[in-house]
Structure 1
Amino acid sequence: MIDEIQKMEDNKTPKGRIDLIGCGRLGLRVGINLMQVHRGGPKVIGAFDGQKIDGGDVIFTMLGAENGQNKTDFVKKLCTHDEKFREIKSFPEYISEDNLDLIEGDVVVIMVAGGNTIETASNIIKHAHKRGAKTIGTAGIFGFGDENIEVKDISEFDNTNPAVEELRAQGITKDHLIVTTNKFIRDNEPITPYTLDEIAKVLTLNALKQLRDKND
């Protein structure tokens, strides 16, 4: 019995890698969630973002960040685990066609924001799928915090979500998990910390499930 328990304990150690593409207000939340996972979760978390922290990044400064600090370096600093248990790899740069090879995760969580990011997201998804990795991303996350959050494969959506339709136009038609409130900048609603908390929760638990399925 003791040997069986030890075997189960050994199987619950961190395994694999989850890459976070975008470490802004949402990516930071997901990163912190993943750091706190016990009895499993990723061995390595890859953090990708070219932005530096400024005065508008309130959640960062609340946690002790300084203006001008790389967001990914701050995510790494927050992780107090021994690197033998869990390691954060910081990549303080934007992802483009020129550096896609830096993405090595078993699961890739895409949280890029600002402007039209569809082409970048589609390139990341195609690269990840070519490597055999699983992907998850967002497609509209505006809202006050009490919205219904949809989670399903891109193939399961109808044609009413414009972000989904743009990804499909780029050739992403299946095997990509979407998390969305189906609310967009056009809807005259903000993105509140409550919405980000809920979206981060859903992204985290589904990324962990994808990691488990990838490593089973």
Structure 2
Amino acid sequence: MTADEIQAMEDKQVPKGKIDLIGVGRLGLRIGINLIQVHRGGPKVIGAFDGQEISGGDVIFTLLGAEIGEKKPDFLKRICTHDEDFRKIESHCEYITEENIDLIDGDVVIIVIAGGNTISTASEIIKHAHKRGAKTIGTAGIFGFGNEDIEIKDISEYDNTNPAIEELRAQGITENHLIITTHKLIRDNEPVTPYTLDEVAEIITMNALKLLRDKYD
């Protein structure tokens, strides 16, 4: 292989496109850090959306040097030390509503919002992304002690036993949306463990990168 051929391959493996991360909580932060660290490819821009401030209970944030009261997307932007010509974080310190949904313009949209019933918000984000031709990934229950089988596949491939998935279907999301789940929900009275979050974040990152690569191949 010649030097020119090697250079041509290196030139191809540069950051391209944009991944939007909707929710920068305990799971979203992990995904964001994974995406920041990707070498030889990955997104050029990461859009981070969350209106919440960091509190004392956000231990993964404070362990990494976050300040109490700091906005979560701003913290992700702060720890991304790349030159912005290589990779940058667009920090949006706000929750997604009908008024600002057009800010979501990534090639891949990762939806990891939590707290209360988030199905209606997630469904509107998915519909908006699909209209733009973007690919989407979301969760449908990631509770469990840590020995669960984590499953990821298109929403059309799941049966009708997961109520979170059924709620999304009732909102009109029936295909072309990847869902990751342990099939454990808040009703099962099991915790969300950091090692499950680590594994879920890894799987979401891998699949988001594949979707992004497919967009630009």
Instruction: Give the structure-2-normalised TM-score.
Output: 0.99
1:146 is displaced (CA, Å) by: 1.6
Amino acid paired to 2:107: D
* Structure 1 unaligned blocks of 5 or more: none
| 1:145-193 alpha-carbon deviations (Å, 9 max, x no partner) | 2210001000000000111000000000000000000000111110010
**RMSD of aligned alpha carbons:** 0.5
1:98 is displaced (CA, Å) by: 1.1
> In structure 2, the residue corresponding to 1:97 is in which secondary structure?
coil
> In structure 2, the residue corresponding to 1:13 is in which secondary structure?
coil
1:54 is displaced (CA, Å) by: 0.5
> In structure 2, the residue corresponding to 1:18 is in which secondary structure?
strand
Amino acid paired to 1:45: I
1:214 is displaced (CA, Å) by: 1.3
Q: Which residue of 2 aligns with 1:181?
A: 182
Q: Which residue of 1 aligns with 2:8?
A: 7
| 1:16-64 alpha-carbon deviations (Å, 9 max, x no partner) | 0000000000000000000000000000000000000000000000001
- 1:160-179 maps to which residues of 2 (within 5 A)? 160-179=161-180
Aligned length: 216
* Structure 2 unaligned blocks of 5 or more: none
- 1:30-179 maps to which residues of 2 (within 5 A)? 30-179=31-180
Q: Which residue of 2 aligns with 1:213?
A: 214
| 1:53-102 alpha-carbon deviations (Å, 9 max, x no partner) | 00000000000111110000000001010000000000000001111100
Amino acid paired to 2:178: L
Indicate whether 1:200 and 2:207 are aligned.
no
1:104 is displaced (CA, Å) by: 0.8
Amino acid paired to 1:166: E
Amino acid paired to 2:50: D
> In structure 2, the residue corresponding to 1:80 is in which secondary structure?
coil
Given that 1:140 and 1:163 are in contact with CA atoms closer than 8 Å, whether structure 2 keeps it comes out as yes
